[in-house]
Structure 1
């Protein structure tokens, strides 16, 4: 009985702590949601050349002897002086720039919001004669209209006369490949998944279950094809045929889109919904080169100024406070449980 009494007290304390935790989290979340409409993403620019140089210097400091580092410092100073003299004698030519953007696509292509902002910004400063845009793209595809908009954003880069390269390290399938095929050049890592030029739609149907339980479901429409297949109504062969026709029409548009932008691709061979790994995609001309995005960016750094561009949403005070409070309460709760368990262990 004493054990049950102690356990009941422990359980009551634990529940109290959990309730307090939930109340705090809900309050912070409510405060945070009120400020969401006022949030504005901020532009973050990172010069990747400097990042690479800093990492290289840190590693060399650890690996090379003091004598070698001293001599290298002298050589670098001498080189800087020579470059300065050379610039004074002849006007400096503008250096090409490469703008690197990330696109991490979910089923709704939600990242298109920051993609459009990044492209709008860089198009105001980019030089079509010199500069290039690199998109590091990862997506397994999703909604047609969402990825259609994302692909249209990349078309803006092409229309502005800029070279466009898409790099795929893991996957660019379906809507992801719809975006990728816009590029002048597509690179992919050896085992990246590329392709799946197809269209799919699926939905469950609960009509038999409802009928078995004597539940009626009614849907009213104006227009013969306003609804073709439903989740709860009884689907008809005519509705299925119309739905299939819609899928075929969408597939036809997808094929035409790819064929216009990758004319060397045998569209009848690759547009069967299948996927290919990087090396196979190269054989089918779905990509232009097997290479990781890291390798390509490092190559660009040798001859151009390379900038990573991203719009990141600023965290409000409520966000930061919420994270801090939640972390603190979690640690306190875990400590409380640990102490209770240790105390019970000693008494036992």
Structure 2
């Protein structure tokens, strides 16, 4: 049995939280993912267990849900301020779009030279099947109460007013994203329009634009800042209890679709 001796200084701890994959709403089948509900417990422990000297976020995400990105980042900031613990983000392959939103919650952002950073913008995509169903003699029937209830129906031709309404929503969301980045990066940001254009860059260029603070890797940088004697403790999203005993066919299919969507998200950045 390990014994704790009084008056013996324990080495400082750095909590490591891995934020890996696309950001999305909690899955119906209970699968853990990169969302606020799944990360809540891990983040709470990361900021409190063992009185850490810092929390390090290992980020590898192409983005996803703006709401979940905002919720996770806000939770990180609340915990950091409540417990007075500094936060460092370390970008791996990519921190783009919502992935960069998460990184912006940190006090300092570091990346590998080959990391992809940026994509501060908002995107909405879909498909149009109106010609397909017309060729096959299929008639779309839909009834609503409310003039704007049925918008951007994939089985009908786009309406200019619907597109304009969506554009306003995306512009509003973009402004919220920009405000988040400006509030966190402050005077470190370069005063250039390209920063918020949705473009993305490798780390050196991102550093020139003020999106990151430098080139560094998690272990060496934390030892440089807090000393060679630090210890790392990892925290991650909780795994739903029932999934520990296997998965159903529905879950396998759902996970496969999610994997394809995530792969497509990474490929947008050449990864």
- Tell me whether 1:256 sits opposite 2:182 in the alignment: no
1:99 aligns to what SS in structure 2? strand
The answer for unaligned runs of 5 or more in structure 1 is 1-86, 321-348
Q: Tell me the residue number matched to 2:169.
A: 246
1:255–1:267 CA contact under 8 A, matched in 2: no
Post-superposition CA distance 1:204-229 (Å, at most 9, x none) = 11112223333221233333333321
- Tell me whether 1:108 sits opposite 2:24 in the alignment: yes
TM-score w.r.t. the length of structure 2 is 0.75
The equivalences for 1:140-151 within 5 A come to 140-151=62-73
Q: CA RMSD in A?
A: 2.7
**Offset at 1:93?**
5.5
TM-score w.r.t. the length of structure 1 is 0.59
- Tell me whether 1:306 sits opposite 2:222 in the alignment: no
1:191–1:277 CA contact under 8 A, matched in 2: yes
- For residue 211 of structure 1, the aligned residue among 127, 131, 134 is 134
1:168–1:293 CA contact under 8 A, matched in 2: no
2:139 aligns to what SS in structure 1? coil
Cα–Cα, structure 1 residues 159 and 218, in superposed 2: closer, same or farther, change >3 Å?
Answer: farther
CA distance in 2, matches of 1:205, 1:297: 49
- For residue 147 of structure 2, the aligned residue among 201, 205, 224 is 224
Larger Rg: 1
Post-superposition CA distance 1:83-103 (Å, at most 9, x none) = xxxx99xx5566532111111
1:140–1:175 CA contact under 8 A, matched in 2: yes
Cα–Cα, structure 1 residues 318 and 119, in superposed 2: closer, same or farther, change >3 Å?
Answer: closer
CA distance in 1, matches of 2:142, 2:210: 47
- Tell me whether 1:274 sits opposite 2:194 in the alignment: no
- For residue 75 of structure 2, the aligned residue among 147, 153, 173 is 153
Count residues in correspondence.
Answer: 230
CA distance in 2, matches of 1:174, 1:291: 21
CA distance in 2, matches of 1:295, 1:214: 64
- Tell me whether 1:138 sits opposite 2:60 in the alignment: yes
2:106 aligns to what SS in structure 1? coil
2:17–2:46 CA contact under 8 A, matched in 1: no
Post-superposition CA distance 1:238-289 (Å, at most 9, x none) = 1111111111111111111111111121363300000010111111110011
Post-superposition CA distance 1:270-327 (Å, at most 9, x none) = 000000101111111100110122432454561433222235647878549xxxxxxx
The answer for unaligned runs of 5 or more in structure 2 is 26-32, 248-271
